[in-house]
Structure 1
């Protein structure tokens, strides 16, 4: 039997809040200037948000207002943006990629979404818990062969007496999971119930959850983060097309599992 595991984190996790801020900034530029070149990084926590990076655009959205709509008015916002490097811009202007790098794509026939089974289980569990408890949190599901062996859940503002039955119901109702209550080890808030989370408890950084943003730890990845980058940055667009190639090949019936590698030069 092979043991596989994957985790997922909620939108209330500090790193994912930073990803959301970065993409919200990107969207604001692209909404008014589709040719905007945007590559922003966001760090946040403890009433401070820092936005740093490179932007070349014909528009100037109110970034501070965008950020405060997400995190609240009591945050100090520091924005430090420069124009894209002329050397990089020249390469993109003539049709080149916005970065050098290797991007990977993956697809498998083992799930409807063509994602690894352990990843699907962890993501589905996290999403359904978040519907009831929209706070900071993480899930992890470990498989032994096709069967669920262990489930870890840590979620802010939950009571174990309520969370455990919810988690069991979600896992046991998942059609892709082979689970029985007696066979699965459930670790629910293993460090204890907690109420301080998000930016009040920890610092976040955009692009730090690369494995979660891809396919989980069982599948190797390449390139960099997706968040806050326009399509000329192949960290994002190259990874997307690599995934599409893999999915299309599995859909064709020619393979049950596909790995794709793409390489770009500026």
Structure 2
């Protein structure tokens, strides 16, 4: 065994604000037009948010109002065009909205079926955020013997002494043991956070959104994309398959790989690796339309995925 580290960021982190903006825009379209094609990207910071992308829909959405609900009193600039007809011609016939490789993962380390370091970093972040809902990061390193080696916590508007108290409360509540080297606001206490301190961008927290640095990812971000984009829908399906195989086989670890070509409905690869043994996935409709129908993905359900990662939070693809 080896050292394992994962981090988590709060919903007020500038990158996560941009993820939430993108997914809130997506939800606003899907609420009125379930067939909307949406690819919305946000970049924000220092009082300004830029939203750009490709959206084809039968409805109009007040994008600045959506942005301001999440980001506060900011100046909003938008540049939205319709989806490229050359992309649409492949999607209209049921093909994938892009090429790509999607990874699914599940393990028996935690009830959430995610790596322990990911869950501990996330839970600690949520524990602090409940009391201090500001910009912040947490990080947990697990030693080879399975105990906690170190914890890092940096949170806006939380004095070092109070933050250390919260971390120790969490450690006691979770019954954690180990060396427990603490790094609390290691660069000093800070009051300027979020868009006031830094810029954010949709899709820049890919490892946090996925399974932590121990597990490979396909590379595509999720937020702001409607489910015709297999970057999102097939990744969710890959997680669901991994969960299914983990339970069915009573396995310790399952990795799923799906690969697609733009405009083509069937996956080019559909591999599941169960405790190190690879086989071809059977028994699932893995076309984009099949996935969308199976997971009921044309609903306004996405803003909540943009806060603490897309897996292990009780979403339908986790069940």
TM-score, normalised to structure 2's length?
0.80
**1:110-125 map, 5 Å:** 110-125=109-124
SS at match of 2:44: strand
- 1:172 deviates by 2.9
SS in 1 for 2:204: coil
Residue deviations 1:17-41 (CA, integer Å, cap 9, x gap): 0000000000010010000000011
Matches within 5 A, 1:118-157: 118-145=117-144, 146-157=146-157
Q: Report SS of the residue matched to 1:98.
A: coil
Tell me which residue corresponds to 1:250: 246
Tell whether the 8 Å contact from 1:25 to 1:66 is kept in structure 2 after alignment: yes
Matched, 1:259 2:258: no
Output the CA distance in 1 between the equivalents of 2:171 and 2:81: 47
Residues 114 and 211 of structure 2 are in contact (CA less than 8 Å); yes or no, is this contact kept in structure 1?
yes
Instruction: Give the corresponding residue for 1:7.
Output: 7
Q: What is residue 185 of structure 1 aligned with on the other side?
A: 181
- Give the 3-state SS of the residue equivalent to 1:184 in structure 2: strand
Q: 1:53 offset after TM fit, Å?
A: 0.7
Contact 2:55–2:80 under 8 Å retained in 1 = yes
Quick one: distance in 1 between partners of 2:161 and 2:228?
48
| 5+ long unaligned stretches in structure 1 | none
**CA drift at 1:223:** 3.5
- Do 2:206 and 2:219's aligned partners in 1 also have CA atoms closer than 8 Å? no
Query: 2:10 touches 2:125 (CA, 8 Å); kept in 1?
Result: yes
Measured after TM superposition, the shift of residue 191 of structure 1 is 0.2
Instruction: Tell me how far 1:140 sits from its aligned partner.
Output: 0.2
Q: How is 1:93-104 mapped onto 2 (pairs within 5 angstroms)?
A: 93-104=92-103
Q: Is the 8 A contact 1:121 1:171 kept in 2?
A: no
TM-score normalized with structure 1 length: 0.96
How many residues matched?
261
| Shift in Å, 1:253 | 3.3
Unpaired segments of 5 or more residues in structure 2? 263-319
CA distance in 2, matches of 1:126, 1:139: 6
After superposition, give the CA deviation of every residue in 1:207-263 in whole Å (9 maximum; x if it has no partner): 000000000111110041110000001111111000000011111134210010000
1:44 alignment counterpart: 44
Write out per-residue CA displacement over residues 35-65 of structure 1, whole angstroms, 9 at most, x where no aligned residue: 0000011000001100011000000011111
Q: How does 1:166-177 map to 2 (within 5 A)?
A: 166-174=166-174
Q: Please name the residue that 1:58 is paired with.
A: 58
Aligned residues of 1:10 and 1:135 also touching (Cα < 8 A) = yes
